[in-house]
Amino acid sequence: MNTPEALIPFRIDIPQADIDDLHHRLARSRWPFTVPGRDDRSDFSRGIPVPYLKELAAYWRDGFDWRAQEAKLNQHEQFTTVVDGQTFHVVHVRSANPSATPLLLHHGWPGSFVEYQRLIPLLTEEFHLVIPAPPGFGFSAPLSSTGWEVTRTAEAYGKIMTRLGYARFAAHGTDLGTGIMGRLAAAHPNRVIGTHYGSERRVVGLVGTLFPVPDGLSAEELAQLDAMRAEAASDRGYLEMQNHRPDTIGAALTDSPVGQLAWIVEKFHARNEGSPTPTDAVDRDQLLTNVSLYWFTRSGESSAQLYYESEHAPRDMAFAAVPTGWAVFDAHPLVRRTMDPWNAAVHWSDFAEGGHFPAMEEPELLAGDLRAFFRSLD
């Protein structure tokens, strides 16, 4: 008999009827009229270009093999567990090294545990990996109740690590995961060995809103900051919808696979503009596996609800009194000047390559930085 704190073994097995339904919906897609001249598949100036979206949707329908991807995902141990009434899905990859360090990996939106497929084999010599899906994401959907925001989620992760037998552990996060890992470390500095954040230059767009503008910036730096904030602001439409109208966008994402495809894939371009299209930056099958996961679990809607809950929760900006490392991709000097003006991070790496999804774009660089940071704490 399973207790409320049980770790229940889990395997992904999407019903064939759901796969057939996806193919049927894709075959009957109703496409928008395009503005004349919008025939360049790499022109993302107004969002995802329809020619590129049609190309990707056709491959999703006729070329993409979900069952093959499902089998790859099932190569790793998975379980579900219930914390405070919410079901969490967790991938657990044990190292053969008995002295390996437990490492909690956390993604953001529109990612999933699929992000870490290429990173996992690069880390298992030194780390036991724990990859939970946040409330409302993937197989941690649907939300069990309102009130699931970043602080409550961080506490749930601490309980999951306890259930796994890990008293102390390392933590890494990107995007939403940086906030959750930071809250976890701030609340439990005796348990978190150190926090490592993966970021990119667009994080500067949060300066002046979520983070204060530091003193001492030169006129040139302030001008650069204004330009980078304006660039980031042009990409905030999705955030405003998810923060304030998740029910509205959720209905569209749950009913239309092409809508879900466009909503997610466009962000893989906006967060890495150095590539002509998203599939020039990340593997096409891995990208579509991530999109498929959102589709099959209906987590386009429920993941947006986590954003709403977090936006309407009290702000908790407690800082963790644990060693902190940063790896910044598509780096710019202004990132450290604004995000760490006190040089509090004990480890900082700037990489010209990559972008918002380093585990997919530059897994070797990210793995090397994780190893270097946590080795330095031994």
pLDDT digits (tens, 9 = 90+) for 259-289: 999 999 999 987 666 678 889 889 999 999 9
* Confidence at 362, pLDDT banded by 50, 70, 90: very high
CA gap 289, 282 in Å, rounded: 12
Give the pLDDT of residue 85.
Answer: 96
Give the pLDDT of residue 319.
Answer: 67
Give the pLDDT of residue 35.
Answer: 87
- Pick the more confident residue, 341 or 284: 284
Q: Of 271, 347, 293, 302, which is closest to residue 131 (Cα–Cα)?
A: 293
The set of residues, in sequence order, having a beta carbon less than 8 Å from that of 245 and lying 6+ positions away, is none
Q: Residues 241, 248: contact at Cβ < 8 Å? A: yes
Least confident of 57-66, 226-235, 260-269: 226-235
CA gap 57, 144 in Å, rounded: 32
Give the pLDDT of residue 316.
Answer: 67
Give the pLDDT of residue 37.
Answer: 83
- Pick the more confident residue, 349 or 318: 349
* Confidence at 335, pLDDT banded by 50, 70, 90: very high
Q: Of 209, 214, 199, which is closest to residue 229 (Cα–Cα)?
A: 209
Give the pLDDT of residue 121.
Answer: 97
CA gap 325, 180 in Å, rounded: 15
pTM of the predicted protein model: 0.94
Give the pLDDT of residue 320.
Answer: 72
What integer is the mean pLDDT of 161-181?
Answer: 95
Least confident of 137-151, 311-325, 344-358: 311-325
Position 258 pLDDT exceeds 90: yes
Q: What is the chain's mean pLDDT, rounded?
A: 92
* Confidence at 171, pLDDT banded by 50, 70, 90: very high
Give the pLDDT of residue 271.
Answer: 67
pLDDT tens, residue by residue, 190-200: 999 999 999 99
Position 1 pLDDT exceeds 60: no
Q: In what order do the strands lie in the sheet with 127-132?
A: 8-9, 77-83, 86-93, 127-132, 101-106, 169-174, 192-200, 324-329, 347-351
Domains along the chain? Answer: 65-375 (3.40.50.1820)
Least confident of 30-39, 172-181, 308-317: 308-317
Give the pLDDT of residue 227.
Answer: 87
Q: Of 253, 261, 295, which is closest to residue 278 (Cα–Cα)?
A: 261
Give the pLDDT of residue 273.
Answer: 64
Position 334 pLDDT exceeds 60: yes
Least confident of 6-15, 48-57, 298-307: 298-307
Q: Residues 338, 204: contact at Cβ < 8 Å? A: yes
